[in-house]
Structure 1
């Protein structure tokens, strides 16, 4: 294994680095880059463990995963506190406690689903049966925005179908991830779930390893393309969720009072650091003042601060890299004479806080509209005709989610059918569900997660064809 070409190509630094609390910039701990030798050893252990795990009866694997859900529930309070400390999202509102409940639910659902063999063809002369076999070892590359929830999306379906998993959490949210893996491994058999830590070169070595049969990745388009390149070395199957620049279209005459709460959280959940957040809002010119005033009024009442403070509903941006990117987009908007409809109060704290910001007098072609800001900034764009709004909404290299907001559900569905996205929500945004497949189009990636289709994605189909 040491003599393979990818081992020589990939260099992993032995220099550790710090993890910070984004609310206070206090040091949480020192993160170590897992060495190539350690990764090789973990993969060898995973190969042996996977054979034993996949040989267990299906009902036994289901029961074990349900016990994992119980363990996550039992430790949800302390894990939520770890999320808040390292990722930054508040304990209150749809924050860290919300994330932990999602972890429990997204563990229970795959454990409850069945994917039995299927007779795909039968006549008097033959019978063809489709079976779903485990792939082997799944490399899971998790992001920093929902570090535990998205890790669960990758881990649990893979284990459910008999695979072993080696997960690399984001270097920005290592310690909360390690704490959750510790809880899960208190229930699982040894070595069926292992973790490596460090920067991108650790993930690069892992994903290109010849023993990896599947890579599940959530992150940026740029890194997603590197994962695709790495998979050329081992022909690993891929599920890629590379973010999006989700558009929302408000149809004329919307009763905004009825929808303002869903609209706000559709855009600003987790400080806008959610792949399927609403990141571009198209509003008919006749409704522009009404909609922007409603958003301003709602934003004015949302407290921001240290996530450990029970009064905080929004927290900081997670890391300096993302903070600088968002500030650059705000500066660019100032330079093009955009209208700053609303700018919230920034907490008097040391962390990476960016106040809620609504920006108008911008359009497609402005960076704040064309680039995924992934933060608490929402551009609001006027349109004259519905055809114009649809065209501008589709004018993006990404296509993860989109939404249509209307009093008329029939009209909303007609518009939804024309939007280029993996999911189009009506009168809601980002409303994912563990039974409902989720994935993107264009450069948002390919493959789906969740539900039966998500289980299929971590298996290989096998046909047994019988001549009668």
Structure 2
């Protein structure tokens, strides 16, 4: 078992050589990220390419055994990883945060290891049958975000390794140390160069996306960056899985009990202090229960402690970086000027630290207001009143984003009737943002394409091959 100091020492560069990484809760320097170059990336890809045939040749049974052993190793280092994650990303240890995220890494590894991808008989002709097989692609490039850096990295790594690919991981510039620490732990089990991390800037990420020896890119991040990756892939014809920006709508139908749904609504919007791609980001509530829903949400917000993530009592943390803090602050201020009613929050929580912004509920906004139309990716939720359900559905579908959505109702049949009409990759009923390792997940429209998780996730990192005869 490692400890946090050991992990930091093993993955950090020296002061003056690496780039300072700060704790968003305190501003303190926690370590120095290696600054790898394009040449370093080229070497990493070459090493992963060389290691891939032997990794694929191990076969499914041996790779499954190793993935389960990796999960055990993560569990043995879980507290150290969670502490480092909390310090670097800002999320608290408790609640659906740092310890939860590290635990999800081992859960996803084990679930992926247990997922079976069967050969399919597609033409059952005794004289001339056709069967569909799935084989390793080669080298997968995994480009991750800063909001759930460990868990989303595992979403990219686990299926890729399971199917016999090797992986080159490029973590976000904001959260490189925790991801490099995770890879360090995993590589205590895995063969050399099967899983390689490269910590660099946008130039390194761009090179990974366009690299001629990369067979697949998995990316979670903004729609703008996703479009750039698509353009890069035109030259190397790399396959793509893109989980891009979201602006998830929730629709609360008439007849719903506000008290019964309030806690799920709250965490649907404010998990990870709102810094989640598939968080609830705009809430449409029927006018018959509009004020009651607002009141229930405000009551829950008042009871949720925010502060330094290392404090065991807190469940909400800071914004991870100044850029995101400014986006949230500017959108809330704009909403105030447009006549939005600030129910809770509404101004920086400077008494907690530079990057803290309190849970902010903004009522009486409308479609077209920036806080409604633009992804805030933080602890500010616009609440919009509607009268006609048809109008609410039209509002949910009017934006480019289509990652997730939710419908809230005491009547499951009525909720499903609305759910099937919403343009998003996932629609939840009386919950928002819940995921399962066997339930495929992905976006539509501007939220990207390709599926992750379960059998479909394994297929997405494989080459399909039909053998006939």
Specify the TM-score bucket, using the shorter chain as the normaliser. over 0.9
Match of 2:138 among 120, 133, 136: 136
CA distance in 1, matches of 2:43, 2:293: 57
Determine the structure 1 residue equivalent to 2:399. Answer: 396
1:391 aligned counterpart, secondary structure: helix
CA distance in 2, matches of 1:43, 1:386: 52
Report matched runs for 1:62-73 at 5 Å: 62-73=64-75
Report matched runs for 1:262-277 at 5 Å: 262-277=264-279
| Consecutive unaligned residues in structure 2, runs of 5 or more | 1-15
Determine the structure 2 residue equivalent to 1:190. Answer: 192
Contact 1:304–1:347 under 8 Å retained in 2: no
Match of 1:234 among 233, 236, 257: 236
Structure 1 residue 405: Cα displacement:
0.3
Match of 1:368 among 347, 371, 379: 371
Determine the structure 1 residue equivalent to 2:311. Answer: 309
Question: Number of residues paired by the alignment?
Answer: 453
Match of 1:293 among 269, 285, 295: 295
Structure 1 residue 15: Cα displacement:
8.4
Structure 1 residue 51: Cα displacement:
0.5
Say whether 1:434 aligns with 2:437.
yes
2:313 aligned counterpart, secondary structure: coil
Structure 1 residue 120: Cα displacement:
1.1
Per-residue CA deviation, residues 316-354 of structure 1 (Å, 9 max, x unaligned), is 010111111111111211221211111178262334100
CA distance in 1, matches of 2:144, 2:411: 39
CA distance in 2, matches of 1:392, 1:177: 38
Per-residue CA deviation, residues 94-114 of structure 1 (Å, 9 max, x unaligned), is 110111111111110010111
Report matched runs for 1:168-179 at 5 Å: 168-179=170-181
Contact 2:37–2:200 under 8 Å retained in 1: no
How large is the RMSD of aligned CA atoms in angstroms? 1.3
2:219 aligned counterpart, secondary structure: strand
Structure 1 residue 35: Cα displacement:
1.4
1:126 aligned counterpart, secondary structure: coil
Match of 2:387 among 373, 384, 388: 384
Determine the structure 2 residue equivalent to 1:356. Answer: 359
Contact 2:284–2:392 under 8 Å retained in 1: yes
Q: Judge which range, 26-35 or 297-306, deviates more.
A: 26-35
2:297 aligned counterpart, secondary structure: helix
Determine the structure 2 residue equivalent to 1:223. Answer: 225
Per-residue CA deviation, residues 225-261 of structure 1 (Å, 9 max, x unaligned), is 1111111120000000002100000001211222211
| Consecutive unaligned residues in structure 1, runs of 5 or more | 1-13
2:242 aligned counterpart, secondary structure: strand
CA distance in 2, matches of 1:114, 1:351: 48
Structure 1 residue 30: Cα displacement:
2.6
TM-score of the superposed pair, with normalisation by structure 1 = 0.95
Report matched runs for 1:14-29 at 5 Å: 17-29=19-31
Determine the structure 2 residue equivalent to 1:3. Answer: none
CA distance in 1, matches of 2:148, 2:293: 29
CA distance in 2, matches of 1:124, 1:352: 67
Determine the structure 2 residue equivalent to 1:10. Answer: none
CA distance in 2, matches of 1:429, 1:383: 20
Per-residue CA deviation, residues 197-220 of structure 1 (Å, 9 max, x unaligned), is 122111101111100000000000
Determine the structure 2 residue equivalent to 1:33. Answer: 35
TM-score of the superposed pair, with normalisation by structure 2 = 0.95
2:55 aligned counterpart, secondary structure: helix
Contact 2:401–2:447 under 8 Å retained in 1: yes
